[in-house]
């Protein structure tokens, strides 16, 4: 637990995930709010209640839950605050909190199609069950206060809502006017680069209409530079004291990785996304096919946006080749 200042406290909760501990933030204002809600485990609940007590509160004192995005390590304990009448979040978070069956079936179908189209062998399809199993760690509820860019946090009017899609399609961050302090969720982390994660398009759209999270992520990192974010209170790891430098470093490293992918394609006639993933992550892809494929598609989307590569379909499988004409 860390008291950031009189009106903000950082609580640190364990998770069962590789990312490690997650931070939630208690905000004092016109009402008492908690930003994010950890993961649904006994260990996280015990850590939360202990740290709340250290700053003079109980779970029953929390009046509002504010969520940065829908991932299970951020929405796990939403049901544990008996007097929290409000859940404020990007509207699509509701599909996860309510377990909207139509959307969850759409989600599963999309990833089945995505795995096939990417040339991923069937041995990896068990990862689809893993994606669904993580929802066991997520809480339930209903978004009462939909948030969009430019809104003010209810009860905390000094905080502006900033859209920061990329890591998640539901991702929001919160910027304080007077000093450009950002409560950033997983948008910018000091110790690791946030993975722009593939998600389905809206119901009724095709696999070709899916969001392109790497392009979104780069745009929203640059947005943080443009609005002069001064410090970031993150969802994981250390407080980011020099976000401008870190963002420029992350953008540069992403471009370097994209160049590696381009070199792979220059050396081959054409490659499937899975073949590129194996080359890019030779040691990680077997254990983390979902995250490594998301990162791979991120680089491919970026290169395609620059017209450096061409996407085709061959026997129902997506393939990429270098666009030598663009050089």
Based on the domain organization, do 91 and 207 belong to the same domain?
Answer: yes
Q: Which residues pair with 68 in a beta bridge?
A: none
What is the full DSSP assignment across 97-149? HTT-HHHHHHHHHHHHHHHHHTT--GGGTTHHHHHHHGGGG------SEE--T
Tell me, what's the pLDDT at 326? Answer: 52
Residues 226 and 174 in one domain: yes
Domain contains 291? yes
pLDDT at 324: 78
* Residues 200 and 184 reside in one and the same domain: yes
Residue 234 lies in a domain: yes
Do 306 and 162 share a structural domain?
no
Pairing of strands 152-153, 317-322: unpaired
* 3-class SS of residue 308: coil
Do 34 and 62 share a domain, yes or no? yes
Decide: helix, strand or coil at residue 299: helix
Considering the domain architecture, whether residues 97 and 227 belong to the same structural domain is answered as yes
Pair (157, 259) in one structural domain: no
> Residues for the chain: how many in total?
327
Other CB atoms within 10 A of residue 232 CB = 26
> What's the total number of domains in the chain?
2
Q: Are residues 242 and 259 both part of a single domain? A: no
Q: Return the structure tokens found at 23.
A: 């931070």
Question: Which of the listed residues 210, 228, 250 is the one where a domain comes to its end?
Answer: 250
Phi, psi of 181 (to 5 degrees): -75, 135
43/30 same-domain check: yes
* Other Cβ atoms closer than 10 A to 79: 15
Query: Can you give the residue range of the structural domain that contains 310?
Result: 255-326
> Do 143 and 232 reside in the same domain of the chain?
yes
pLDDT of amino acid 134 = 85
3-state helix, strand, coil in the chain (%, to 5): 40, 20, 40
* Tokens found for residue 317: 């499988």
Tell me how far apart the alpha carbons of residues 229 and 242 are, in angstroms, rounded to a whole number.
9
Q: Which of 211, 234, 250 is the last residue of a domain?
A: 250
Please say whether the beta carbons of 18 and 236 come within 8 A.
Answer: no
Domain contains 125: no
pLDDT digit string (tens) for the chain, length 327 residues:
899 999 999 999 999 998 999 999 999 999 999 999 999 999 999 999 999 999 999 999 999 999 999 999 999 999 999 999 999 999 999 999 999 999 999 999 999 999 999 999 999 988 888 777 888 999 999 999 999 999 999 999 999 999 999 999 999 999 999 999 999 999 999 999 999 999 999 998 888 899 999 999 999 999 999 999 999 999 999 999 999 999 999 999 999 999 999 999 999 889 999 999 999 999 999 999 999 999 999 999 999 999 999 999 999 999 999 997 755
**Closest C-alpha among 318, 199, 193 to residue 256:** 193
Question: In this structure, are 311 and 238 located in the same domain?
Answer: no
Residues 289, 317 share a domain: yes
What DSSP letter does each residue of 51-105 carry, written as one string? Answer: HHHHTT--GGG--EEE-S---HHHHTTGGG-TT--EEEE-TTHHHHHTT-HHHHH
Give the predicted TM-score (pTM) of the model.
Answer: 0.95
Structure tokens at 199: 């998600």
Which of 250, 282, 306 is the C-terminal boundary of a domain? 250
Pairing of strands 152-153, 156-163: antiparallel
């Amino acid at each position: 637990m860390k008291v950031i200042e009189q009106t903000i406290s950082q609580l640190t909760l364990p998770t069962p995930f590789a990312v490690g501990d997650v931070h939630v933030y208690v905000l004092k204002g016109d009402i008492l709010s908690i930003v994010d809600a950890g993961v649904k485990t006994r260990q996280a609940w015990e850590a939360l209640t202990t740290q709340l007590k250290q700053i003079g509160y109980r779970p029953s004192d929390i009046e509002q839950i504010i969520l940065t995005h829908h991932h299970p390590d951020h929405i796990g304990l939403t049901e544990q605050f008996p007097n929290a009448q409000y859940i404020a979040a990007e509207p699509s978070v509701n599909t996860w909190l309510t377990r909207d069956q139509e959307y969850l079936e759409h989600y599963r179908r999309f990833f089945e199609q995505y795995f096939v189209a990417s040339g991923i062998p069937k041995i990896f399809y068990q990862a689809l069950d893993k994606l669904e199993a993580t929802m066991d760690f997520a809480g339930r509820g209903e978004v009462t206060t939909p948030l969009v860019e430019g809104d003010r946090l209810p009860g905390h009017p000094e905080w502006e809502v900033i859209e920061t899609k990329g890591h998640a399609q539901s991702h929001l961050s919160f910027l304080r006017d007077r000093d450009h302090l950002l409560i950033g969720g997983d948008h910018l982390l000091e110790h690791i680069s946030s993975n722009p994660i593939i998600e389905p398009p809206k119901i009724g759209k095709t696999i070709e209409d899916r969001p392109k999270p790497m392009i979104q992520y780069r745009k929203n990192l640059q947005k943080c530079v443009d609005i002069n974010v001064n410090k970031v209170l993150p969802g994981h790891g250390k407080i980011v004291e020099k976000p401008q430098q870190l963002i420029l470093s992350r953008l540069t490293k992403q471009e370097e990785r994209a160049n590696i992918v381009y070199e792979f394609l220059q050396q081959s006639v054409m490659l499937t996304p899975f073949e590129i993933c194996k080359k890019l992550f030779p040691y990680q892809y077997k254990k983390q096919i979902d995250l490594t494929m998301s990162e791979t598609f991120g680089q491919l989307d970026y290169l395609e946006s620059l017209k450096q590569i061409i996407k085709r379909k061959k026997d129902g499988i997506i393939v990429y080749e270098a666009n030598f004409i663009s050089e």
